[in-house]
Amino acid sequence: MVEKMNLTMLTDFYEITMANGYFESGMAEDIAYFDMFFRQIPDNGGYAVMAGLEQVINYLENLNFTDEDIEFLKEKHMFSNAFLEYLKSFEFVCDVWAIPEGTPIFPGEPMVTVRGPVIQAQFVETMILLLINHQSLIATKASRIVRAAGGRPVMEFGTRRAHGGSAAIYGARAAYIGGCAGTACAIADRDYGVSALGTMAHSWVQMYPSEYEAFRKYAEIYPENCTLLVDTYNVLKSGVPAAIRVFDELQPKNKGIRIDSGDVAYLTKQARKMLDKAGHQDCKIVVSNSLDEYIIQDVIVEGACIDSFGVGERLITARSEPVFGGVYKLSALEKDGVMIPKMKISENVEKITNPGFKTVYRLFDKDTHKAVADVITLDGEAIPEGDDYEIFDPRAVWKRKKVNNFYVRNLRVQVFDKGTCIYQSPSIDEIRDYCRQQISTLWEETLRLENPQVYYVDLSKELWEMKNRLIEEYNQL
């Protein structure tokens, strides 16, 4: 069982100053709605993967201010005694809706919605963004890399290159959701059930007089799972021959070699010939060394003989684009049970938000079961399945289309009801399997690594009309 940590004070300081401001202004109990969403898919990809919800749940369930927190804030000499007393008895009472982990997601969709007293709904912004942004980024990168590997297992090897301990642990979890077979991170196995994998370092080989002696001792200790690192000195002249000698003598099970440097396409092809000639056709070849989806794709095209990949820094840091960019914006207020929609206006069209309390539906073709569109609607709107449902492009007032022969699934679930968690997080394997299945509903054109077909997220007619009415009202100010 993972120990639950109180991370209440892991927040932007302005969340506390705003909370104090709402309290002093008599607005603390005003009901507000906030949406988390993102605007651009990392690496200009065709889809992203939702991850991090389980950690958000743990955070919200443990949200309280300790005596130490109160004393720290008191010493800032910025906050009233009444506000500090309020924090002492702070209890999370908001409603929360979210898209489940492992779901393919697209720009503009409300991934998380929080409804409740503004002093609370505003305060949780930082941690929701921190947890969802990071894990969604790594899960998305992992999914791209796993797809490039074409069915060959990918292991997450980035623990030592992650940006801190929690990034290593949560990154390993997110990479597994995205499709990785396991991780080098032992604590991620202990705490989250992500299989920990690993063999040896070059230092193991260097500790012995020869590669043969290093390999033999390792095979004696681990006869059931023996993968030997063959590139410490020379892959083809000494490493592979020494491995073959040990395989001949000890006949370990589940044997393999790992290459961590050099031209992996050339080296794996030559190594495969040597292993097969020696009668070790069952020996697997593992490759690591600064890999990403593009390198993996290229070496496979070049005919590299690789059975699995170990991917480190470029996965655990999402090096090519290390920011997910999710934001958290006010979408509505509630006065006397009546919802008042709110939206942000900007000269940048992509930064204009969608107002109101909303949900997200995915429409699937009845014949192919492929996803044909996502539609954001006002909460409570029903989408009639079947024919001639009209949806509207939020980027262009003139652009709309009709969808036919489809069925509908609501992407979001309620997670908290008045501060009580009512959602049971699936197991990590269930999330991973769900992610794989849901990605399979996307068209191959959307799954391309480069220049994918854009999967647009549209608005229902009611939401589209509300948005444009508010824009007109703002223009008249």
DSSP of 177-243: HTT-SEES-HHHHHHH-PPB-----HHHHHTSSSHHHHHHHHHHH-TTSEEEE--SS-IIIIIHHHH
**DSSP code for 43:** G
CB 470 within 8 A of CB 341: yes
pLDDT tens across 161-207, in order?
Answer: 999 999 999 999 999 999 999 999 999 999 999 999 888 999 999 99
Which range is least confidently modeled, 14-18, 158-162, 345-349?
345-349
pTM, two decimals, is 0.96
Closest by Cα among 158, 151, 134, 160 to 54:
134
Residue-wise burial string across 257-278, b where 16 or more C-beta atoms lie within 10 A, e elsewhere: bbbbeeebbebbbebbebbeeb
The residue type found at 78 is M
Q: How far apart are CA 426 and CA 423, in angstroms?
A: 9
Closest by Cα among 313, 309, 302, 261 to 285:
309
Please give the average per-residue pLDDT across 233-250, as a whole number.
Answer: 98
The percentage of the chain sitting over the pLDDT mark of 70, rounded to a whole number, equals 98
Q: How far apart are CA 49 and CA 68, in angstroms?
A: 37
pLDDT score for 395: 64
Q: How far apart are CA 230 and CA 237, in angstroms?
A: 10
Count of Cβ atoms closer than 10 Å to residue 312 Cβ: 23
Using 50, 70 and 90 to split pLDDT, how confident is the model at 396?
A: low
- The domains located in the chain, with CATH, are 13-138+322-475 (3.20.140.10), 199-287 (3.20.20.70)
The pLDDT of residue 112 is above 70: yes
Q: How far apart are CA 106 and CA 141, in angstroms?
A: 14
- Considering the chain, what is the average pLDDT of its residues? 95
pLDDT tens across 44-88, in order?
Answer: 999 999 999 999 999 999 999 999 999 999 999 999 999 999 999
The residue behind tokens 């597994």 is: 176
pLDDT score for 403: 87
The percentage of the chain sitting over the pLDDT mark of 90, rounded to a whole number, equals 90
Using 50, 70 and 90 to split pLDDT, how confident is the model at 1?
A: very low
pLDDT score for 394: 72
CB 173 within 8 A of CB 192: yes
